[in-house]
Chains A and B, each alone.
Chain A
Amino acid sequence: MYLKKRGSFLPPPGCSDLFPYRPYQCPPEPPGPPGPVIIPNIIVMPTVQRYFYIANSDIQAPASIPASQFTNDDGELAAKFPDLGQNSYSNLYINGMLQEGSLYSISTSVLTINPKGTTIFSGTPIALEIVQFSARIIP
Chain B
Amino acid sequence: MAIVKPFVASRRFTGVAGSGTGTGATFSIAATEFTNDVGASATAFPASFAYYNLYINAMIQTADTSSVTTTAITIPDGDVLDPATPIVVEFVVT
Chain A residues with CB under 8 Å of chain B are 52, 71, 75, 95-96, 118-119, 121, 123-125, 127
Contacts and interface: CB of A to CB of B under 8 A. Distances in A.
Contacts of A75: 1
Given A52-B1, A71-B1, A95-B94, A119 B7 contact: no
Contact of A125 (B5, B9, B48, B93): B5
B31 to A, nearest CB: 15
Could you say which of A75, A96, A121 has the most chain B C-beta atoms within 10 Å of its C-beta? A121
8 contacts: A75-B1, A95-B7, A96-B6, A119-B46, A121-B9, A121-B93, A125-B4, A127-B4
**Interface SS, A side:** loop
Give the size category of B's interface with A.
10 to 19
Contacts of A118: 47-48
A27 B46 CA distance: 94
A125 B1 contact: no
A75 to B, nearest CB: 4
Nearest to B2: A75
Contacts of B9: 121, 123
Contact of A52 (B4, B46, B47, B48): B4
**Interface SS, B side:** loop
Nearest to B47: A119
Contacts of B1: 52, 71, 75
Interface of B: 1, 4-7, 9, 46-48, 93-94
Contacts of B7: 95, 121, 123-125
A119 B44 CA distance: 13
A85 to B, nearest CB: 27
A116 to B, nearest CB: 11
Given A75-B1, A95-B94, 6 more contacts: A96-B4, A119-B48, A121-B94, A123-B7, A124-B94, A125-B4
Contacts of B6: 95-96, 125
Contacts of B93: 119, 121
A113 B48 CA distance: 17
4 closest residue pairs by CB, A with B: A75-B1, A124-B7, A119-B48, A118-B48
